[in-house]
Structure 1
Amino acid sequence: MKRRTLLLAGATGAGALVVGWLAVPQRSRLGSPGLLPVRNGEVALNGWIKVGADGAIVLAMPRSEMGQGVYTALPMLAAEELDVPLASVRVERAGNDTIYGNVATVLAGLPFHPLDDEREDGFGRAKAARWVVGKIGRELGINATGGSTSVVDAWEVVRTAAATARASLLGAAALQWKLPVDELKVRNGVVSHASGPSAHYGELARFAAATPPGTVRLKAREDWSLIGKPAPRLDLPAKVDGTARFGVDVRPPGLKFAAVRLCPMLGGAPGRVDASVASKMPGVERLVMLPAYGGSTAGFAVIAKTSWHAMRAAAAVDVQWEQRPAGPLDSARIEQQLEAAVRSGDGYAFHSSGDVDAAERRASRTIEAWYRAPFLAHATMEPMNCTARVADGKVEVWAPTQVPLMARDIAARVAGVPAEAVTVHVPLLGGGFGRRLEVDYVGVAVRVAMDAGGAPVQLLWPREEDTTHDFYRPMHVVRLRAAVEDAQVASLRIDSAGDAITPRWFQRAMPPLAGPVDLPDKTTSEGLFDLPYAFPNQRMAHTATRSGVPVGFWRSVGHSHNAFFSESFIDELAGAMQVDPVEYRRGLLRHAPRYRAVLDLAARRAGWGTPLPAARARGVALHESFGTIVAQVAEVSIDAGGPRVHRVVCALDCGTVVNPTIVAQQMESAVVFALTAALHGRIDIKDGQVQQRNFPDYRMLLAAQAPHVETWTVASERPPAGVGEPGVPPLAPAVANALFALTGKRLRSLPLNLAAADA
C-alpha cells in the first residue's frame, strides 16, 4: 500500500499527494522527552510526563484552568495509569508543540447529527470525516481550551503517555533487578517485587529514560482506583488561602498600570482628543492611542502609577468620538433584519429528511411559532486584563487566555517580532465562558507596553469597558413550524437567522487561516438541526448574517439559545397533542434509548407527576450538546420579583465520569449561569452604543436566588464527553415550560418576561 501511494504521488501531482497523506497513519501525540525542560533532577519520559527526583510526577498542561477543573481531571488520568496518589501529580504549562493541540475541538466543528454514528454500520461517512479531520487537527496543533473538550481530548493521549512512562519504569526495574516485568507490582509510585527489591519512580527514572516501554496497555476499567471516584480539586487550597495567581495578580518587577477607554460606539474611533487635564493628574505617565486590534474597537489607554490613577485619568480625557463609517448599529433594527432573513427562506439546510413540503400540503393544520434571543455579554468575574513587557526585541506576556498560541501570534504581529521572540505565561482565569478565546486584549496590552520604556504594564478593562466592548453571543430569530396529519406531527421545519461566530473568530484570531468565503457554521444551527426526535419529515436551515456587532463564543454557543427554541416548541407540540410533556418526548425517542434513559432518570428523580406545593409547577427540557445528553426538570413559582426557581434536577449521560464531584460542580455552575441569562440577560444597542454598562443594569443571579441543584449521572462505558457547557442549554426552556404550566402563558423571547408573554 505504501509503495502504491508513493507511485501515485509521483505520477499525478497534488491530488495524489493528498491521497498519499491520507493513507499515512495519524501522527502520534506522545512526543519526545526533549519537549519538556527539566530541572532539579527531573527526568522526562515523553512529551507529557516528567518524574522528579523524589518520585513526584509532573504533567505537561496545555489547557487553561478557568474553574472547570482541568488542573484536577487531567492529573487524575495520569495518576491512574501511573499508580500514584493524585496529590503527587503537579502540572506545568506545556510548550508550543503540535502534540498539545486540542484535536477534539477541531472535530467538534463537524456538522453531523449526534445519532449518525449509531445509524452507521462500520466505517461510515461520519466516522471517515472524523478520521480525516482528526488527522488535520493533529497537524494544525491548535491549542485552545473550549468546547468542553479538555478531558475529551486528553482521555487517550494523557493516559497513553502515563501508561508508556509506567511501562518504561517497570522495564527499568526489571532490567536492574533481573526479574520478569510481569512479576513487579506498583503501589503509590513504588515498584516492588515479592522477593524484596523496591524503588520509587524517582530512583528508576534515569534508567527508564533509556528503556523502551515494550507493549503498552491501558488499565482495564475494573482496575481503576481513581477514575470515576470523587477527588478533591488540586487548585482549591490555593484559591481558598489566596495564594492562587490570576491575571490581575501578576506583579513583575517595575510594573506599571494602564486602563483602556474605547470608542463607545461599536466600530467607531476617536476623533479629536484633548488629554491636557488628564496628563496633569497625579500618577499619570502617558496616553497611548489604540487602533482596533483583534476585532476590538479603537480608543486609547492611559499608563499610570496604579490602576486607579489610570482609570481616573482615562475618564478625564476629553474625546470627540466618531461613528463607524457604515453607520451606527441598532439591536432593534437588527432584530427586524433577522426576521426578514427568516421569511426569505434562503438559509442553508443543515439537516433534511423526508419531504417536508409534501407533509405540509397534506396537513390538517399547522402549528407555527416565532422565538427570539438577544445579544449577551460574558461578564466574567475577572475583568479583561493582560500584562506585557516589550524590550530588546522580545515580548513577554502574562495573559489569562484560552488560546495561548494565538495570544503569542497577535503579540508578535503587534510588536513586529517573530513568534519565537514572544513568551506567554498563562495564569489562572477568573472565568472564560468563551470571552478569553479572543485575543484583542493581548494585542492592546502589547501596544501599550511598547510605549512603556521596557517596563511591564498591566492593562485592565474597567467593568464598563468590559461590558460595552465584548464579543457578544449573537442575536437569533427563529420560526418553527409543525404540520399535523391524522392527529400526529408529520413534519418539523425550522428556519433561523443570526450572525455566524466561527468565520468572524477565525478572521480575528487566526488571520492567516481565515479564508475569503464563509462556510456554513455549525454553531448557528446546533441544537436545531441535530434533534433526536423521530419526526418523519424534517428540514432545519439557517441564514448566516453579518450585523456588524462583534460576536463570539458564549458558554454552550448556539445550543444556549437554540435549545430554548426547540425544547419550548416541543412542549408546545405536546400541548397541542394533549400529551404529558415527558410522555410526548418519550414517544419521540423510541429509537434513541440513551436520550430516553436520561429523560426518565430526570423525571423519576424530580418526582414528575407527583403533587407540588400550591402555586408551583415543573417544566422539563432535554438536550444534547458537546456529546453529553442532559435532561433538566425545573420547579418554579412566581413571587413579587418575577419567576423563582426553587429546584433543578439534572440528569446526564456524559460517558465515563472522571470525577463525579467536578461533574456536579459544573452542572451547578451551568444552572446558575443559564438562569442568570434566562431571567435577566440582554444587551441592547442604540446609536451604536451598548446600553448596559455594569452589574446594576446587566444583572446577575444573587446567591439567595440560586436554586437547589441535584445531579444524577447515567452509568456509561463510553469515552468521556463534555461537561462544562451542556448544563446550560436545557435550563431556559425547562423554566419557560414550567411557567407555562403555572400561568398558561407561552414565553417565546429571552429573557423570560411574563408581562410580554404570548397567550
Structure 2
Amino acid sequence: MKRRAWLLGTTVGAGALLLGWMALPQRSRLGLASMMAPGEGDIALNGWIKILPDSSVVLAMPRSEMGQGVHTALPQLAAEELDVPLASVRIEQAGWDAVYGNVAMLVGNLPFHPLEEEREDGFGRVKAGRWLVGKFSRELGLNATGGSSSVADAWEVVRLAAATARASLLGAASLQWKLPAEDLKTARGVVSHPSGRSITYGELARVAAATPPGVVQLKDRKEWRVIGQPAPRLDVPAKVNGSARFGLDVRLPGMRFAALRLAPMLRGAPGRVDAQAALAMPGVDRVVTLPAYAGSTAGIAAVADSYWRAQQALNAVQVDWLPPPGSGPDSQRVQEDLRRAVERRDGYRFFEQGEVDRPLRAGARTLEAWYSAPFLAHATLEPMNATARVAGGRVEVWAPTQVPGMCRAAAARVAGVPEDHVDLHVTLLGGGFGRRLEVDYVAQAVRVAMDLPGVPVQLIWSREEDMRHDFYRPMHVARMRAVLGAGGEALGLHIKSAGDAISPRWMERGLPALAGPVDLPDKTASEGLFDQPYEFDDQRIEHVFAHTGVPVGFWRSVGHSHNAFFTESFVDELASELRRDPVEFRRALLRRAPRHRAVLDLAAERSGWGLRPLPAGRARGVALHESFGTVVAQVAEVSLERGLVRVHRVVCAVDCGTVVNPQIVAQQMEGAVVFGLTAALHGRIDIRDGVVQQGNFPEYPMLRLASAPLVETYIVPSERPPAGVGEPGVPPIAPAVANALFALTGQRNRSLPFAL
C-alpha cells in the first residue's frame, strides 16, 4: 500500500513538474556575453556577437563547414542586422551552452505531412508538436550540423543577436551624445547623427556591453543589403591558398601517426595478435587493440612517426580475426528478406486517408511495381581521422565532425574524464554527408592516444577501411500499388516499404545513456513516401522496420534519397499507363499544393518541356520532390552513348523559402546533382558473408568531370523562412534520369544503380 501511494505521488509530482515546465516560456537563445571566449581587446555583447577594436565583428559559429557554405551564410545574417560589410565578419567556434543547439533539425524530424500545417486552422497538432519539440530542443542543446537545417536554425537567433548588439551600440552612442537613439543611424560599423557626429563600433563596444538594448527590431526585408545577395564564399581563399585546416592538416609538435585496421567481417573482432615483428620496425611505437567503439567494428591500430610507417607496421602484425556470432549479413539475402517482410508483415502506418481497399473490392484496375535501392557508402574525399592528446586528466581533440558535443562526450567516456575536461577543436570537413554524425573515429583516436600520454596522435583511416566499415545508407525495397479509375484517373495509392531504421541505431551508439535498444518509429525510413504532395483520395503509406545486421547511418538527404526515386518513378509509370503527359499529370495531382505546382511549372518552362524538341537520340525526364522544407523540380536531358547513360543538362527549379545567398543555392544544387548522379549510375555496396566487397574508387566509381551535366538553377521568389539547401537537390535527380531513360528506351529502371 505504501509503495502504491509512493508511485502515485511520484507520478503526480512528475506530471506537475512537466506541466510547470510546459507553462514556462521557451528558453532564450540569445545567451550571455560570458559564453563567448574572451580575446584581447574584443567585447562580447551577447552569446553570439563580439566587437573588436577595429569595429570588425566576431560571430560564434556552432555549425561545421563541409562545403555547404554555412561559414558564409551565417555571417551574412549578422552583417545585415549589424550594418557592417560581410568581409568584416569573422567566426570563432561556439562554446557548449544549450543556446547553440540545433533546434530546427529536431523539429524538422517530426513525422508531419508538409501540407498539414498549411491547411491547419489555428494552433493545431502540427504547430503544437513543433512548439513542444522546439521547447525541448532548446533545453537539450544538441549541437549538430545535419538535416539541411543550419540556416533555418540560425535565421531568427543570429539576426536577433546581431540586431540586439546593434541596439546596444545605438544606446551607448545615445547616452554619450545625449541624443535620442531614434535619430541615430548605423552604416559600415559606424554610428552617426545628421549633425555630422560619428563614432565607430569599436569605440562604443565597452559602453554598449553595459547598455540595455531597449527595443530591438529586425530589419524589414525592403532594407536588406546583404541577405539575398550572391556574396563570394568566405572560406574559398583559404582553401585555394592551402591555409585552410581540415582534420588531416592538423600538425602539432611531437605528433605521432596511427593507422587502423578493423576486422574484415562486420562486427568481427581481433583474436590473437602477434605484433613482435611490427614493433621491431624503425619508428614504430605501439600496436593497440581497439574495441568496438560507438557502433564500429573492433580492430587494431599501429602508431609510428609517419603514417606510411604505421601502415607498414600494420602489414607486419599477425592477427587471428574472429567472425561475429552467427552468420554475417549478405546484401542479396537482405534484399530477399525485405521483400518477404513487405509481403508478410504489417507495417507502421505513417499516413492514411480514405479506404485504399474499397476500390479494390469494387474490382478496379491496379498498377503494381517493386522498387529497390542498395546499401551506399558516404565516400567522403577526406577519410575518417581525428587527432587526440591525453595528459594530466585532460583530453584535447582535433576533429572534422558534424556533432562536436557528442564527440566531447565520446572522448570523455573513453578517457574516463568529465566532459568539461575535454577540449575539442572542430576543423573543416572534407565532406560530411552524414558520415561525420558518428563518433567512432574520435573514440578510437582517444584510445590510441591514451597509450602515449602527452603525445598528440593522429589516427587516419585508409580509403579501404573507410569504405568497408562505413555506416551505410540502408537498403530499402518498396511495393508501389495504385488504383486506376475507368475514366483515366488515379484513385488510390498504397505504398509499403521495408528497410532499416537509422535514427534509433544512431541514438543507441551515440547516446549510450539510453537504456537498451530504441525502437521508436523512424520518420527517415518513410520520408518522401508518406509526405509526398500528390492528392489521391485513398492513401495508405506504411513501412516495415528491419534489423539487417548492417551498420546504417544518415546519408545525404537520408530516406528521401531513395524514396524520391520510388515515388517519382512510379508517378511517371502512372502517367504512362494513363497516357498522360508526365508534367500535366503531376499538375492535376497538385490541386491544393500551389507551391509545388509553381516549382514544377518553372522547371518545365525553363527546360522547354513540350515546347522545344530535343535532337534525335535524346529524351527528357521530370521529377518533383520536397525535402527539408524545400521543393525541387528537375528536368534531365539524357542520351545513351555506346550503351552508357549520358546526362547532358539538368534544369533545376527551387523554392527554399527566403534565400540568403543565391550563389550558394546554385552551387549546392550543382553539387547535389553530381552527388545524386554518382549514386544513380554507379553506387552500390555489396556484402557477402559479412564482408564488404568494394574497397576503393575503382570498385565504387565517382562521376567524372567529363560526364558531369550542365546544371541550370532557377529560384522561385519566396518570403517564407529559409529552408534546407544542402540536401534537397539530391532526391529528384535519380527519378528524373530514370524517367528520361524510359522516354528514350521504353524500359523502366526500378532498381538503383541503373542497369541497361
- Tell me if both proteins adopt one fold, taking TM over 0.5 as the criterion: yes
2:577 corresponds to 1:565: no
C-alpha deviation, 1:122, in angstroms: 1.1
Task: Report the equivalent of 1:124.
Answer: 124
Letter in 2 for 1:581: P
C-alpha deviation, 1:412, in angstroms: 0.4
Letter in 1 for 2:490: V
- CA displacement 1:704-735 (0-9 Å, x = unmatched): 11000000010000000000000000000000
C-alpha deviation, 1:275, in angstroms: 2.1
**Could you tell me how far apart the structure 2 residues matched to 1:326 and 1:18 are?**
45
C-alpha deviation, 1:641, in angstroms: 5.3
Q: In the alignment, is the contact (CA less than 8 A) between 1:362 and 1:485 conserved in 2? A: no
1:682-701 aligned at under 5 Å gives the runs: 682-701=684-703
Q: In the alignment, is the contact (CA less than 8 A) between 1:630 and 1:650 conserved in 2? A: yes
SS in 2 for 1:54: coil
| TM-score under structure 2 length normalisation | 0.98
Task: Report the equivalent of 2:600.
Answer: 599
Q: In the alignment, is the contact (CA less than 8 A) between 1:399 and 1:427 conserved in 2? A: yes
SS in 1 for 2:381: coil
Letter in 1 for 2:719: E
SS in 2 for 1:648: strand
**Could you tell me how far apart the structure 1 residues matched to 2:359 and 2:746 are?**
29
**Could you tell me how far apart the structure 1 residues matched to 2:503 and 2:435 are?**
13
Q: In the alignment, is the contact (CA less than 8 A) between 1:353 and 1:536 conserved in 2? A: yes
2:122 corresponds to 1:98: no
C-alpha deviation, 1:11, in angstroms: 12
Q: In the alignment, is the contact (CA less than 8 A) between 2:82 and 2:163 conserved in 1? A: yes
Task: Report the equivalent of 2:550.
Answer: 549
Q: In the alignment, is the contact (CA less than 8 A) between 1:620 and 1:634 conserved in 2? A: yes
Moved more, 320-329 or 182-191: 320-329
SS in 2 for 1:511: coil
C-alpha deviation, 1:272, in angstroms: 2.1
Letter in 1 for 2:545: A
C-alpha deviation, 1:197, in angstroms: 1.4
**Could you tell me how far apart the structure 1 residues matched to 2:330 and 2:128 are?**
44
SS in 2 for 1:294: helix
Alignment RMSD, CA only?
1.1
- CA displacement 1:153-189 (0-9 Å, x = unmatched): 0000000000000000001001100111111111101
**Could you tell me how far apart the structure 2 residues matched to 1:78 and 1:338 are?**
48
2:536 corresponds to 1:535: yes
Task: Report the equivalent of 1:6.
Answer: none
Task: Report the equivalent of 1:749.
Answer: 751
**Could you tell me how far apart the structure 2 residues matched to 1:516 and 1:747 are?**
37
Letter in 1 for 2:623: A
SS in 2 for 1:131: helix
Task: Report the equivalent of 1:339.
Answer: 339
C-alpha deviation, 1:514, in angstroms: 6.0
Q: In the alignment, is the contact (CA less than 8 A) between 1:363 and 1:483 conserved in 2? A: no
**Could you tell me how far apart the structure 2 residues matched to 1:204 and 1:693 are?**
58
- CA displacement 1:209-233 (0-9 Å, x = unmatched): 1110001000000000010110011
Task: Report the equivalent of 2:4.
Answer: none
Task: Report the equivalent of 1:648.
Answer: 650
SS in 2 for 1:614: coil
Letter in 2 for 1:649: V
C-alpha deviation, 1:396, in angstroms: 0.3
The count of aligned residue pairs is: 746
Task: Report the equivalent of 1:623.
Answer: 625
Letter in 2 for 1:584: F
SS in 1 for 2:663: helix
Letter in 1 for 2:51: V
C-alpha deviation, 1:359, in angstroms: 2.0
2:705 corresponds to 1:703: yes
Task: Report the equivalent of 1:216.
Answer: 216
1:241-640 aligned at under 5 Å gives the runs: 241-486=241-486, 487-513=488-514, 516-609=517-610, 610-640=612-642
Letter in 1 for 2:618: R
**Could you tell me how far apart the structure 2 residues matched to 1:271 and 1:515 are?**
27
C-alpha deviation, 1:517, in angstroms: 4.0
SS in 1 for 2:443: helix
Task: Report the equivalent of 2:682.
Answer: 680
Moved more, 144-153 or 487-496: 487-496
C-alpha deviation, 1:196, in angstroms: 2.0
Q: In the alignment, is the contact (CA less than 8 A) between 2:626 and 2:632 conserved in 1? A: yes
Q: In the alignment, is the contact (CA less than 8 A) between 1:363 and 1:485 conserved in 2? A: no
Task: Report the equivalent of 1:4.
Answer: none
Task: Report the equivalent of 1:731.
Answer: 733
Moved more, 606-615 or 482-491: 482-491
**Could you tell me how far apart the structure 2 residues matched to 1:517 and 1:378 are?**
24
**Could you tell me how far apart the structure 2 residues matched to 1:251 and 1:517 are?**
39
Q: In the alignment, is the contact (CA less than 8 A) between 1:647 and 1:709 conserved in 2? A: yes
5+ residue gaps, structure 1? 1-8, 755-759
- CA displacement 1:556-581 (0-9 Å, x = unmatched): 00000000000000000000110000
Task: Report the equivalent of 2:663.
Answer: 661
Identity %: 70
C-alpha deviation, 1:670, in angstroms: 0.2
Moved more, 272-281 or 325-334: 272-281
SS in 2 for 1:383: coil
Q: In the alignment, is the contact (CA less than 8 A) between 1:246 and 1:428 conserved in 2? A: yes
Letter in 2 for 1:421: H
Q: In the alignment, is the contact (CA less than 8 A) between 1:283 and 1:304 conserved in 2? A: yes
Q: In the alignment, is the contact (CA less than 8 A) between 2:560 and 2:627 conserved in 1? A: yes
**Could you tell me how far apart the structure 2 residues matched to 1:111 and 1:698 are?**
33
Q: In the alignment, is the contact (CA less than 8 A) between 2:468 and 2:695 conserved in 1? A: yes
- CA displacement 1:273-300 (0-9 Å, x = unmatched): 2223322223211100000001000000
Cα–Cα, structure 1 residues 155 and 326, in superposed 2: closer, same or farther, change >3 Å? Answer: same
SS in 1 for 2:555: coil
- CA displacement 1:459-493 (0-9 Å, x = unmatched): 00000000000000000011000111223211100
C-alpha deviation, 1:357, in angstroms: 1.1
**Could you tell me how far apart the structure 2 residues matched to 1:19 and 1:511 are?**
28
**Could you tell me how far apart the structure 2 residues matched to 1:64 and 1:39 are?**
22
Letter in 1 for 2:535: A
**Could you tell me how far apart the structure 1 residues matched to 2:639 and 2:155 are?**
42
Task: Report the equivalent of 1:757.
Answer: none
SS in 2 for 1:433: coil
| TM-score under structure 1 length normalisation | 0.97
Q: In the alignment, is the contact (CA less than 8 A) between 2:72 and 2:235 conserved in 1? A: yes
Letter in 2 for 1:596: R
**Could you tell me how far apart the structure 1 residues matched to 2:700 and 2:643 are?**
16
Cα–Cα, structure 1 residues 190 and 514, in superposed 2: closer, same or farther, change >3 Å? Answer: farther
Q: In the alignment, is the contact (CA less than 8 A) between 1:503 and 1:514 conserved in 2? A: no
Letter in 2 for 1:86: L
C-alpha deviation, 1:364, in angstroms: 2.6
